Structure 1
Amino acid sequence: MELLTINNVWMMICTALVFFMHTGFAFLEIGLTRQKNTLNILFKNIFIITIGLLLYALVGFNLMYPGFADGSSGIIGFAGFGLSSPLTAEGALDLTYNSGYTYWTDFLFQGMFAATAATIVSGAVAERMKILPFMIFAILYVGFVYPIAGSWKWGGGFLDQLSTPFYDFAGSTLVHSVGGWAAVVAVCLLGSRIGKFKNGEIQAIPGHNIPLATAGVLILWLGWFGFNGGSVLSADPTLTSLTLVTTCLSAAAGGVIAAIVSTIMYKNLDLTMFLNGILGGLVGITAGADQMSPTDAILVGAIAGALIVFAVSLIDKLKLDDPVGAIAVHLVCGIWGTLAVGLFGNLAGVDQFISQLIGVACYAVFCLVTSFIILFTLKKTMGIRVSEREEIEGLDAHEHGMEAYPDFRLNEH
């Protein structure tokens, strides 16, 4: 009982840290975008975490952990609506649920992850997507797509049943790429912001508060102590400590290499690239944080940092407008981190690498198809993009009828 209490307390602390990450996402997103859209972005972020938790309690948790029966396809299952009370017949806590944490802690910890996928999309579509279609998309993606995809590995589904099981410790693919693939579809269907591409030239649209974006990244880094540390699913001292070390070293390496590569390429010290390099290192290590040595973690993070710079450049050349670099950070580095499990660390090997490729491909197809169906349907029925006037004058005024900084308005037209 004492060990259960210790493990459970650690898991609850990690749950709080992952919840705090939503503050980091909000700060980063508003910092890298224009002042006139701040309220719109904050509204979306608050909506995602609130509706996400409710949906996860109603259907998501039991879609993600359906208890696949022996011999089932392991593709989709459902354990019923709502949360069941894990108590014994005498009304006491059922200690047979898990030696590391209680049923309620399990639900809340996993629920914090669920909303992240839609938050990733929020950043990619910032400054030009209508609020109502985004809310509908978030409900469908967080409520159904994410938990079904998650069940394939974490719920004991078909990817976990491969001869060499697909491995994703804390969600480089299951969380970050799931959001990243949807972000690609959304950006393609939406089109670029007005003024982003002129006469074939890429135009920078600076964010209005880089200090806030910097604070957001540091908060996210702190939150990753819970994101990866909690994914140990206990307070095991050795494994938890190693996971936090590899997480931090990968983040540091990602930031440093992104800063160096971007300086060589663009001849300026770009703080935003430095920040995204840190996030790329965090996303990259997430799939195998418990399997890597410190040296492996530095290599994984360093490669992720370099990939960020090249991915941002490629995305711009493809005329895809991603205001916060969400696709480069969460999709590109999510894929890299997932494949890295087969290249570095304790699980490295040909069979594991093939399993990682299979997993990446399955999630790519599922997420591209489902997000396209949802967003294309919304585009054809109610429209997903605001009018030119609304975009120029700002979504805060037109979608919400108020301003984030009423006493410090800047003329941003």
Structure 2
Amino acid sequence: MGDLLTVNNVWMMICTAFVFIMHLGFSLLEIGFTRQKNTINILFKNVFIITAGLLLYTIIGFNLMYPGSFIWGVLPDYFVDLFGLSLPENGLTAEYADAGYTYWTDFLFQGMFAATAATIVSGAVAERIKLGAFMIFTIVYVGFIYPIAGSWKWGAGWLDELGFYDFAGSTLVHSVGGWAALIAVYLLGPRIGKFKKDGSLGAIPGHNIPLATAGVFLLWLGWFGFNGGSVLSADPGATSLVLVTTCIAAASGGLSAFLVSLFKYKQYDLSMFLNGILGGLVGITAGADVMSVTDSVVVGFIAGALIVLGVSFIDRLKLDDPVGAIAVHLICGIWGTLAVGIFGDLAGWTQLGHQLIGIVSIGAFCVTSAFIIIYTLKKTVGIRVSKEEEQEGLDIHEHGMDAYPDFRLNQH
């Protein structure tokens, strides 16, 4: 038992580190796909998300999401545990010993997931949101909305009892962030120059596609922990299957997006290729442990096609998403969740119905919550920077510095 506990716990801690590195991947992807003049601003937001997110999860999120002893209006036992007054030595209780890892490992692994929801929003609202407003949104959304939605399934809540299945978070992480991104983009409006007066699309290219590419590969690497750690053990059969289906779906998603975009636009579009990889990863996340290799190829391929069609659809709606976060995390998150009822070990009409209920209920909760938070901010402190600040760049105006002080070419 002792050796198995150690092996499981070490695997979970390694996966926690992999998920942590995803925040660097998101940072590089976002700055690469946006303009040089907003680099510091985007990096600042990503650093704030992980630091504030972990503390928020420590103070309230973990117990709100896994509400074994949490009662509204009553000080949760976790506050007592936080100060070391009653927690068993080494974070082990009978429950955690049976699970195969410690309380601390569980907390840190789940805490890394929590911050991801706000990171998804960060990319979608890049280059025009007020930093202060974004930080307030992050505190409320990561502190309360994400853990409440997560508790419905992972906290043994009503969706779990219903039979809804989301292995590692196609809905509970990615769509939770994607719904908020959709509402934020709608309330913010597009960047200056994104949509021309005649209704045509204005190209606003990213300033560093090599960094964006590095970000995608770091995210792919991180997904080995995101999905692999969600097995919650080092079981060789389960973990190896999850890593294979995850990796295959990523490859299939990338190739699909590249081929569909080539057919649609007659160009070898690297940004679509990269987002297709991410779409495949998001798509397989809900059912990575119940899919075969063939299933994962199909799930990833459809996700990649949805990226190309989704980005085009979002543009037609006159919504400005600089990094494609809505297509990747929301559209492919919905697809991946539905795919559990269509492919793999759980496929069936009953399961598909459960998946639909989960998507709709969490979507309604997140859309309503995000709208209330962001609309309130819009009417109070304001959410959008001035025209001058947007044109000259948020780095200079909000941070007083330049990410590349010796290379000021192509600022705009």
TM-score (structure 1 length as normaliser): 0.95
Which structure has greater helix proportion?
2
Q: Deviations over 1:44-65 (max 9, x none)?
A: 0000000000000000000000
> For residues 392 and 349 of structure 1, do their structure 2 counterparts lie closer, same or farther at Cα, with a shift above 3 Å needed?
same
- Aligned partner of 2:18: which letter? L
Give 1:343 shift: 0.2
Residue 128 of structure 2: aligned partner: 128
Give 1:158 shift: 0.5
Q: 1:166, 1:153 → 2: CA distance?
A: 7
Residue 180 of structure 1: aligned partner: 178
Q: 4+ residue runs of structure 1 moved beyond 3 angstroms?
A: 75-83, 85-93
Give 1:84 shift: 1.8
Residue 256 of structure 1: aligned partner: 255
> For residues 78 and 279 of structure 1, do their structure 2 counterparts lie closer, same or farther at Cα, with a shift above 3 Å needed?
farther
Q: Deviations over 1:335-376 (max 9, x none)?
A: 000000000000000110000000000011000000000000
Residue 56 of structure 1: aligned partner: 57
1:296-375 maps to which residues of 2 (within 5 A)? 296-375=295-374
1:273-288 maps to which residues of 2 (within 5 A)? 273-288=272-287
Q: 2:5, 2:254 → 1: CA distance?
A: 37
Residue 114 of structure 1: aligned partner: 114
Which range moves more in the overlay, 79-88 or 57-66?
Answer: 79-88
Q: 1:105, 1:348 → 2: CA distance?
A: 32
Of 92, 95, 100, which residue of structure 2 is paired with 1:94?
92
- Aligned partner of 2:208: which letter? N
Q: Deviations over 1:107-126 (max 9, x none)?
A: 00000000000000000000
Q: 1:269, 1:67 → 2: CA distance?
A: 51
TM-score (structure 2 length as normaliser): 0.96
Contact kept, 8 Å, 2:64 with 2:147, in 1: the verdict is: yes
Give 1:94 shift: 2.8
* Runs of at least 5 residues in structure 1 that lack an aligned partner in the other structure: none
- Aligned partner of 1:54: which letter? L
Is 1:146 the equivalent of 2:143? no
- Aligned partner of 1:265: which letter? K
Is 1:84 the equivalent of 2:115? no
Q: Deviations over 1:194-237 (max 9, x none)?
A: 00000200011000000000000000000000000000000000
SS in 2 for 1:160: helix
Contact kept, 8 Å, 1:280 with 1:333, in 2: the verdict is: yes
* Runs of at least 5 residues in structure 2 that lack an aligned partner in the other structure: none
> For residues 68 and 168 of structure 1, do their structure 2 counterparts lie closer, same or farther at Cα, with a shift above 3 Å needed?
farther
1:217-228 maps to which residues of 2 (within 5 A)? 217-228=216-227
Give 1:82 shift: 3.2
Of 165, 168, 173, which residue of structure 2 is paired with 1:167?
165
> For residues 329 and 283 of structure 1, do their structure 2 counterparts lie closer, same or farther at Cα, with a shift above 3 Å needed?
same
Q: 2:58, 2:285 → 1: CA distance?
A: 25
Residue 157 of structure 2: aligned partner: 157
SS in 2 for 1:227: helix
- Percent identity for Structure 1 against Structure 2: 71
Is 1:34 the equivalent of 2:35? yes
Of 189, 192, 207, which residue of structure 1 is paired with 2:187?
189
Contact kept, 8 Å, 2:191 with 2:320, in 1: the verdict is: yes
Residue 376 of structure 2: aligned partner: 377
Q: 2:332, 2:90 → 1: CA distance?
A: 44
Q: Deviations over 1:271-303 (max 9, x none)?
A: 000000000000000000000000000000000
Q: Deviations over 1:50-106 (max 9, x none)?
A: 00000000000000000289xx9xx99984553726998984653413232100000
Contact kept, 8 Å, 2:25 with 2:217, in 1: the verdict is: yes
Residue 390 of structure 1: aligned partner: 389
How many residue pairs match? The answer is 407
